[in-house]
Structure 1
Amino acid sequence: MLPFYDWTFIIIIPALVLSAWAQIKVSSSFNKYSKITTINGYTGEKVARMLLDSNGLYDVPIELINGKLTDHYDPRNRVMRLSREVFYGDSVASIGVAAHETGHAIQHNERYSPLEIRNAIVPAVNFSSRASWIIFLLGMFLGLGYFVNIGIILFIAVVIFQLITLPVEFDASNRALKILQQRNILYGNEIKGAKAVLSAAAMTYVAAAIMSLLQLVRLIAISRED
């Protein structure tokens, strides 16, 4: 029987459950607050532009991107990309997401340490995420212990990346909520709604971090089987 079909699969079941719950939560929260129009009536693109300009980021363009919840800030090209629903939307959810991505742009401009570290290790992590399991399983099949160890070491890089992502995402959300409130872009229950959307989104990153940790535990457990 192949290693990834054995009992160790139960190790990651809690993370699978949490991941499924987090995805449902973020989708339901976004759908709920995307139906609530803000008092000011600003679109996500308008808010993002306002916040970027107020932080001196006039040279950061905002582009439209396909898909739902595909919004992101690209630090390599210094571009913010917003999905159609967020770009044109004037809902609490749209404003919250747009402000969150602006938070990443501000982090980048301020050289926020966790973001700098995360960006620096992206190439290594991209390789590690692809190669770790291949090298690990090759080592298990061929009985090459050093291959197994290399696979585990490579996967540790993935775990580190997921853990570093947590403060990056939480900080971006905290910045977003603070700015939205200070600049009177959102009011009262609108702030609570935006917080609910961003908190749900943050749980997806928590779930990913827990999944990577449990996968590491699983690899170690498999490697120690006779």
Structure 2
Amino acid sequence: MFYFDSTMIILLPALLISAWAQMKISSTYEKYSRLRSSNGYTGAQVARRLLDGHGLHDVPIEIVRGKLTDHYDPRSRVMRLSSEVYHGTSVAAIGVAAHETGHAFQHEERYSPLVIRNSIVPVANISSRLSWVIFFVGLVFSIPSLLEVGIYLFLGVVIFQLITLPVEFNASNRAMNVLEGTGILYGEEADGARKVLRAAAMTYVAAAITAISQLLRLIALSNRRRD
């Protein structure tokens, strides 16, 4: 069976890392969502204060459904925070809100890795949807050219995941610098926010490792079919 062949072992370490990363962010977020900040600011208030302090008065903050669905949309120049973060006064909520403002700062300053990532989003989306389909057709019908096309398309996914890493780490570093620099968080609170952001960053590392492992598996399948 295609999905249960020996090459699946290539994915095992990545799957274990991904599972650990998901458990880590969930447990860390839950822990520090119970630690309230002494200043009593909500995530939305912190985000607004940081955005305004950076001259981004025209960037609105909206509520989005779900948990840990917070993001900055560079196309619409809108920050969207989950209800728990938007209304929350916890260290975790403030850390996440500040992280998203970090993305807004990157966008305003045209931070190079973010510009590159945004420019290849359409390619990455197409590659993600078509790579496996084309590769599978090439595998079933023994068409080497389609196998190569599938591999090259999936390489676009890997590149996107790798470029995402400096974008996310930089946003977290910006968040912590501004939170501590403005006195919004300090001491144990700042340490808690930093741990939340580090745990969140590990999910992106896990995604990159998984993408690389998938690419290696495609190459292994292609080589085995040729042999």
Q: Which residue of 2 aligns with 1:141?
A: 140
CA distance in 2, matches of 1:83, 1:140: 42
CA distance in 2, matches of 1:147, 1:65: 40
- Please report how far the alpha carbon of residue 67 of structure 1 lies from its aligned counterpart in structure 2 after TM superposition: 0.5
Q: Which residue of 2 aligns with 1:129?
A: 128
- Please give the TM-score of this superposition, normalised by the length of structure 2: 0.98
The RMSD of aligned alpha carbons is 0.6
Secondary structure of the structure 2 residue equivalent to 1:186:
coil
Counterpart of 1:93 in structure 2: which amino acid?
A: A
CA distance in 2, matches of 1:13, 1:130: 22
Q: Which residue of 1 aligns with 2:108?
A: 109
Q: Which residue of 1 aligns with 2:181?
A: 182
Q: Which residue of 2 aligns with 1:202?
A: 201
- Please report how far the alpha carbon of residue 105 of structure 1 lies from its aligned counterpart in structure 2 after TM superposition: 0.3
Q: Which residue of 1 aligns with 2:154?
A: 155
Q: Which residue of 2 aligns with 1:41?
A: 40
CA distance in 1, matches of 2:53, 2:20: 37
CA distance in 2, matches of 1:174, 1:166: 12
Counterpart of 2:197 in structure 1: which amino acid?
A: L
Secondary structure of the structure 2 residue equivalent to 1:224:
helix
- Please report how far the alpha carbon of residue 220 of structure 1 lies from its aligned counterpart in structure 2 after TM superposition: 0.3
- Please report how far the alpha carbon of residue 222 of structure 1 lies from its aligned counterpart in structure 2 after TM superposition: 0.4
- Please report how far the alpha carbon of residue 75 of structure 1 lies from its aligned counterpart in structure 2 after TM superposition: 0.4
Counterpart of 1:73 in structure 2: which amino acid?
A: Y
CA distance in 1, matches of 2:89, 2:185: 11
Secondary structure of the structure 2 residue equivalent to 1:80:
strand
Amino-acid identity (%)? 64
Q: Which residue of 2 aligns with 1:87?
A: 86
Question: Which whole-Å deviations, capped at 9, do the CAs of 1:4-30 have from their partners, x for residues lacking one?
Answer: 321000101111001011001101111
- Please report how far the alpha carbon of residue 168 of structure 1 lies from its aligned counterpart in structure 2 after TM superposition: 0.2
Question: Which whole-Å deviations, capped at 9, do the CAs of 1:141-178 have from their partners, x for residues lacking one?
Answer: 11110000000000000000000000000000000000
Q: Which runs of 4+ in 1 moved over 6 A?
A: none
Q: Which residue of 2 aligns with 1:16?
A: 15
Question: Which whole-Å deviations, capped at 9, do the CAs of 1:118-143 have from their partners, x for residues lacking one?
Answer: 00000011000000000001001111
Secondary structure of the structure 1 residue equivalent to 2:66:
coil
| Matched residues, number | 225
- In structure 2, list runs of 5 or more residues that go unmatched: none
CA distance in 2, matches of 1:112, 1:183: 22
Counterpart of 1:189 in structure 2: which amino acid?
A: E
